[in-house]
Amino acid sequence: MKIPISKTYFDAADEEAILAPLRNGWVVQGPQVAEFEQAFADFCGAKFAVATTSCTTALHIAAIAAGIQPGDEVLVPAFTWVATANAIEYIGAKPVFCDISLDTFNLDVSRLEGLINEKTKAVLPVHLFGWPAEMNAILDLAQKHSLQVIEDAACGFGTYYHGKHVGAFGHSGCFSFHPRKAFSTGEGGMITTNDEKTADLLRTLRDHGGSRSDFQRQQHQLSFLLSEYNVLGYNYRMTDLQGALGVSQMKKADWMLSRRREIAQRYNEGLSHIDWLRLPQPPSEAVHAYQAYVCLFQPEKPGLSRIENLFGARNRLMAFLEERGVSTRQGTHAPAHLGFYVEKYGIRPEDCPNAYMAERLSLALPLYPQLTEEEQQYVIGLIQEYNPKQ
């Protein structure tokens, strides 16, 4: 049996949807992107949604729109995809890494306040793997210290915190449609916000700084007149091919999310008695979207002193599964320990020990809507028979 870590779900309706822009000839950002944005905003309960080329570019312009400037500091979790920190570096600002909790893989909010100084301008919580960050504590702290909140909701489609969809808590929220996410447009991103001025600025920033999009220009008289260009912008426009795919994928979103939750539930049941794996167990105020099902490998209490041995043991488990056709991955990485950041800031594992341990001990299991019960039982059976002390 061959079971990948993840698989996109595209059907005949998706294939049909992308033919429309090919046939009508409007392939750059246009009506399909506008429809996708509206559907996305409605789903998330946000007033506005602005599509981009990726979550990385979404984070970049969301940080600019929040007023982040060169020399500012932004608090980011130390366990996240490198793009969270990179988006801050692009501006010449400094990502300040805050350690995470090994229970949630999200920001350890008790450590945030100690990292705030007069340069700190924003906090960038990540809803990692679809588990919401502790937004109440984060918003309280942001208010107390006049910080902007930009949510990295790359994995957060279908994630709720106290009944509210993520991405609508802070100044803005940034989503990803990379194929590893709950649904995909190939590459692609979206920013949600409840502030109209921010939405307008984001639309300008993603489109070379222009005051009107090409599509808007073509809808009106004097369409031959170019827009005004008063701010430094970027070309971060989503194509209408992707917009059409997004509209079509969103029609199946509820089903795809419910499949993810069913599969996660089956892992919870099948693996709950395995004491060397810590399973994701979100609290009642959180609705986990299971963009990924990520456990912690812990045949003993994780600690930095023995971490490299444990890392080797975790990798032996992953190799055991791979040899039997089952793909797994580490949850994500700890950017502070990647070459660019080590060289620039010299952060040591003991500065953010949980992030370092999460990188070395996390284990993502296969999860995608088409995963059958038989395939999943095969994965569960292999883990049940495994001896982590070997």
Ligand X SMILES: Cc1ncc(COP(=O)(O)O)c(C=O)c1O
Which has the closest alpha carbon to 174: 147, 200, 146, 202? 202
Distance CA(293)–CA(154), nearest Å, equals: 15
Closest to ligand X by CB, 77 vs 388, is: 77
CB 186 within 8 A of CB 245: yes
Q: CB under 6 A: which stretch of 78-86, 92-100, 136-144, 353-361 binds ligand X?
A: 78-86
Which one of residues 26, 40, 81, 169 is an interface residue with ligand X (CB under 6 A)? 81
SS3 48: strand
Task: Verify binding: residue 176, ligand X, rule CB under 6 A.
Answer: yes
Distances (CA, A) of 247 to 27, 46, 239, 242, 377: 15, 17, 13, 9, 33
Structure tokens at 47: 């007033």
Interface positions, 34-63, toward ligand X (CB under 6 A): 54-56
What x-and-dash track marks residues 111-130 binding ligand X by CB under 6 A?
---------------x----
Contacts of 128 by beta carbon, 8 Å cutoff, 6+ apart:
77, 79, 80, 104, 105, 106, 155, 331, 332
Counting contacts by CB under 6 A, is residue 249 touching ligand X?
A: no
133 to 152: interface string for ligand X, x by CB under 6 A: -------------------x
Contacts for 185 with CB less than 8 Å, ≥ 6 apart? 177, 238, 242, 243, 245, 246, 249
Q: What 3-state class would DSSP assign to 335? A: helix
Nearer to ligand X, 54 or 330 (CB): 54
CB of 126 to ligand X, least distance (A): 5
Listed ranges 43-51, 75-83, 246-254, 377-385: which one lies at the site for ligand X (CB under 6 A)? 75-83
The nearest distance, CB 41 to ligand X, in angstroms, is 18
* Smallest gap from residue 155 Cβ to ligand X (A): 5
Letter for the amino acid at 297? F
Cβ-count burial 324-338 (b if 16+ within 10 Å, e if not): eebbbbbbbbbbbbe
- Report whether 248 contacts 12 (CB < 8 A): no
Question: Residue 245 interacts with ligand X (CB under 6 A)?
Answer: no
In whole angstroms, the minimum distance from the beta carbon of 230 to ligand X comes to 27
Per rule CB under 6 A, is residue 192 in the interface with ligand X? no
Nearer to ligand X, 155 or 201 (CB): 155
- Cα separation of 236 and 57, whole Å? 7
**Quick one: which segment of 77-85, 90-98, 249-257, 296-304 binds ligand X (CB under 6 A)?**
77-85
Q: Are 74 and 124 in contact (CB under 8 A)?
A: yes
Which of 147, 155, 241, 379 is in the footprint of ligand X by CB under 6 A?
Answer: 155
Total residues in contact with ligand X, by rule CB under 6 A: 14
Minimum CB separation of residue 148 from ligand X in Å reads 17
Footprint on this chain of ligand X (rule: CB under 6 A): 54-56, 80-81, 83-84, 126, 152, 154-155, 176, 178, 189
